A = this chain, B = another copy of it.
């Protein structure tokens, strides 16, 4: 079966971009989850004092966004009139940034956030922009309540209807943090345990049930799950060229309506796919506070590339085996069933149950991390391990054993 995702115009592996950036600097830690640059205090004598006392600093510049989740938010808002969906979209974009930067230890530093909102003012009124700005403030207040040092409220809103069909939400995060706290995935080694932090459920710092979606795979999630009626009703919500390829119609090929209830608790399909991306920042901040980070070899945010993401960060040949993942959240079963995407591809596109994984050589530390995570209402467990062997990833799933080597 052909890869439906490619015919939707999304390259989940981003090979082209990797080619273009081949000659770019990889920073101080080439295998770290984010690019890390040196960061000197000025003037020089002050920097020398800082270094002398072990306070050398590094800087991380990062960018990410809500992706096509805004397209679904748009039709959900049009259908239901529910403005609050836009607050979730901001959380999506910010969480994608902060959870990436958390993977290198960034929560021990200071973070500055900017936002870039590009909108089509013919479709997106000022009230939506106001909700996006409110959403940022609410989410940052929550993070700060967990003693995460983040400054926001800077950014640009551009009226670019000739470029954007509805609205795009992107953020950038600059982080300055101590060199000594850097988590470098080059330390991932055979013998490591892998702690997975669940992507669904309801964390103490979340206000309602989270389906576990994150901000990746949304193009497939939207078109795979939702019904053809939206194709006609909201032509502004997708690129019509996706229906013109040799694979035939690819837009809105599912059977579900946005407001159709998934289960007896009253959660709709729309709400489930639109669940704001969970941040793991409060949990990981606690790991730092408890010095559990001393036992962390590496961290991987399973965003673009899903469960295969770790393959980008292995510094030597070794085999990552995920033998005891969480039960697949209902959401991903629905997406697979509706879209017909092969299970092997599902693991390359979605988080499938945990969006954050922590690599540690210590079983004791792993257990402490699991307990801390559970104390925040986030399920956690050892989902796999790293072994000697060729560079590859093995996933043992209820739907078969899948092997990935890139």
Contacts and interface: CB of A to CB of B under 8 A. Distances in A.
Secondary structure at the A interface, as helix, strand, loop or mixed, is mixed
Interface in A106-141: 110, 112-116, 118, 120-122, 126, 129-130, 133-134, 137
A133 B14 CA distance: 14
Contact of A163 (B64, B130, B164): B164
A162 B65 contact: no
A159 B71 contact: no
B162 A35 contact: no
Contact of A61 (B16, B165, B174, B222): B174
A394 interface: no
A359 to B, nearest CB: 24
A42 interface: yes
Nearest to A149: B42
A237 B162 contact: yes
Given A59-B151, A151-B37, A165-B163, A178 B67 contact: no
A167 B41 CA distance: 37
Contacts of A319: none
B35 A161 contact: no
A334 interface: no
Contact of A9 (B35, B40, B42, B121): B121
Contacts of A60: 154
A103 to B, nearest CB: 15
Contact of A160 (B17, B37, B110, B168): B168
A10 interface: yes
B154 A11 contact: no
Contacts of A43: 55
Contacts of A39: 110
A199 B182 CA distance: 44
A158 B110 CA distance: 26
Interface residues of A, number: 81
Contact of A46 (B55, B120, B122, B129): B55
Contacts of A40: 110
Nearest to A237: B162
Contact of A156 (B59, B70, B157, B170): B170
Interface string A58-82: 0111111101101100000000000
Contacts of A249: none
A65 B166 contact: no
Contacts of A153: 21, 24-25, 35
A64 B156 contact: yes
Interface string A13-41: 01011011100110000000001010111
Interface in A152-211: 153-168, 170, 172, 174, 176, 178
A219 interface: yes
Interface stretch (A238-246, A262-270, A373-381): A238-246
Given A159-B219, A172-B172, 20 more contacts: A10-B161, A17-B126, A37-B112, A37-B151, A41-B41, A42-B110, A43-B55, A46-B55, A62-B114, A63-B172, A65-B158, A116-B172, A118-B170, A161-B219, A162-B219, A162-B238, A164-B164, A168-B168, A170-B170, A176-B176
Interface of A: 8-11, 14, 16-17, 19-21, 24-25, 35, 37, 39-43, 46, 49-50, 53, 55, 57, 59-65, 67-68, 70-71, 110, 112-116, 118, 120-122, 126, 129-130, 133-134, 137, 151, 153-168, 170, 172, 174, 176, 178, 219, 222, 237-239, 241-242
